[in-house]
């Protein structure tokens, strides 16, 4: 039976568009996630970054792979229906943890999140992949924006470094980063309340505006994979890098680092 937060139509939409809104996915975890983000910002991990280009205002903080050291993140992952909803949307009998990602745009942050697909940065590929992007503050302009159907594009989009826009890898066969507005692509975006989540495929092109509003825009992204996801090599170190992972192309992600959250 489909999870009560979803309709059969949502599952079709996710398959067709690579993006769908799930209202209230982390509704019961909002306070916990806000605490976790505060703990994360007080004690950033080794991958934390401040994304800024010359002349830009505000603060855009991001960090990832902290769920094993920040108990609030683990708690939210384990107590929310995220794994159940992921299994339904991906149509996968299993759901495995990949990582968590925190993205905070303080009021008056001018930097937009550039258009990108997540998959080319990662060492995992498959059609059964999902990120849940959940704001912990009401969002309007600074919400996530996704290009419908981009998860089915034949070629991956060139991954770049967010602040410098320099290519992330030297080699590889990638298409240039498109300009979805100029090219008339269908952009899907939602006004959201704390704990709502946008579910999107790792191959879905997405980005976000800066945060001109007078309130913070704290967001938690949870990245999960399904049954068909396999380790792949990229032309260079990936993001996240997971040093010493010791996996070979074609393998499933190792269970001791990327635990299975659900099996049906
Ligand atoms: O929060 C943002 O600005 C972008 C989020 C994003 O790129 C992601 O969750 O993959």
Distance 234 CA to ligand 1 centre (A): 21
Q: Which of 206, 209, 212 to mutate to test the pocket of ligand 1 (most atoms within 8 A of CB)?
A: 206
Q: How far is the CA of 127 from the centre of ligand 1 (A)?
A: 19
**pLDDT tens readout for residues 172-220:** 899 999 999 999 999 999 999 999 999 999 999 999 999 999 999 999 9
Is 179 contained in some domain? Answer: yes
Distance, CA 103 to ligand 1 centroid (Å)?
7
Q: In this structure, is residue 42 part of a structural domain?
A: yes
Ligand 1, atom 7, lies closest to the CA of: 207
Instruction: From the CA of 101, give the closest atom in ligand 1.
Output: 9
Domain assignment present for residue 159? The answer is yes
CATH number for the domain spanning 205: value is 2.60.120.620
Find out whether 192 and 135 touch, Cβ atoms under 8 Å: yes
In angstroms, the CA 228 to CA 148 distance is 22
CB 215 within 8 A of CB 138: yes
Three-state helix/strand/coil letters over the chain: CCCCCCCHHHHHHHHHHCEEEECCCCHHHHHHHHHHHHHHHHCCCCCCEECCCCCCCCCEEEEECCCCCCHHHHHHHHHCCHHHHHHHHHCCCEEEEEEEEEEEECCCECCCEEEECCHHHCCEECCCEEEEEEECCCECCCCEEEECCHHHCCCCECCECCCCCCECCCCCCCECCCCCCCCCCCEEECCECCCCEEEECCCCCEEECCECCCCCEEEEEEEEECCCCEECCCCCCCCCCCCCCCCCCCCCCCCCCCCEEEEC
Range 53-65 average pLDDT: 92
Q: Find the 101 Cα to ligand 1 centroid distance in Å.
A: 8
pLDDT digits (tens, 9 = 90+) for 223-253: 999 999 999 999 988 999 999 999 999 999 9
228 Cβ partners below 8 Å, 6+ apart? Answer: 92, 126, 127, 128
Per the structure, the complete domain to which residue 217 belongs is given by 11-233
- Residues 7-43 pLDDT 10s: 999 999 999 999 999 999 999 999 999 999 999 999 9
- Cα radius of gyration rounded to whole Å, the chain: 17
pLDDT digits (tens, 9 = 90+) for 67-111: 999 999 999 999 999 999 999 999 999 999 999 999 999 999 999
Q: Which of 100, 144, 147 to mutate to test the pocket of ligand 1 (most atoms within 8 A of CB)?
A: 144
Total domain count, the chain: 1
Asked whether 74 and 83 are in contact (CB, 8 A), the reply is no
**Within-domain flag for 149:** yes
In short, whether 30's Cβ falls inside 6 Å of ligand 1 is no
Handedness of CA 234, 238, 243, 248 (dihedral sign): negative
- Is there a domain that residue 207 lies in? yes
pLDDT band at 171 (very low <50, low <70, confident <90, very high): confident
Nearest CA to ligand 1 atom 6: 207
Contact 133 CB / ligand 1 (< 6 Å): yes
239 belongs to a structural domain = no
Residue 99 lies inside a defined structural domain of this protein: yes
Ligand 1 within 6 A of CB of 115? no
Identify the band that residue 51 occupies on the pLDDT scale cut at 50, 70 and 90.
confident
Query: Model confidence at 54, in pLDDT bands (50, 70, 90)?
Result: confident
* 208 ligand 1 Cβ < 6 A: yes
Using 50, 70 and 90 to split pLDDT, how confident is the model at 151?
very high
**How far, in Å, from the CA of 116 to the mean position of ligand 1?**
9
């Amino acid at each position: 039976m489909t999870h009560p937060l979803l309709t059969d139509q949502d599952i079709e939409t996710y398959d067709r568009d690579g993006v769908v809104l799930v209202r209230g996915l982390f509704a019961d975890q909002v306070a916990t996630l806000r605490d976790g983000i505060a703990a994360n910002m007080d004690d950033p991990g080794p991958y934390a970054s401040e994304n800024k280009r010359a002349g830009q205002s505000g603060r855009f903080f991001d960090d990832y792979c902290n769920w094993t050291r920040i108990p609030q993140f683990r708690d939210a992952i384990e107590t929310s229906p995220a794994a159940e909803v992921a299994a339904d949307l991906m149509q996968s009998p299993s759901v495995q943890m990949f990582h968590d990602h925190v993205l905070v745009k303080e009021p008056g942050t001018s930097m937009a999140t550039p258009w990108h697909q997540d998959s080319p940065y990662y060492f995992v590929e498959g059609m059964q992949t999902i990120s849940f992007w959940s704001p912990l503050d009401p969002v309007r302009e600074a919400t996530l924006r996704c290009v419908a159907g981009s998860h089915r594009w034949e070629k991956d989009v060139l991954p770049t470094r967010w602040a410098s826009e320099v290519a992330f890898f030297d080699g590889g066969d990638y298409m240039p980063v498109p300009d979805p507005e100029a090219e008339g692509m269908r952009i899907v975006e939602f006004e959201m309340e704390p704990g709502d989540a946008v579910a999107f495929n790792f191959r879905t092109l997405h980005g976000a505006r800066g945060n001109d509003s007078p309130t913070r825009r704290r967001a938690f992204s949870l990245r999960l994979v399904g049954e068909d996801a396999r380790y792949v090599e990229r032309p260079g170190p990936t993001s996240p890098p997971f040093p010493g992972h010791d996996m070979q192309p074609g393998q499933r992600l190792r269970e001791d680092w990327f635990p299975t959250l659900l099996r049906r």
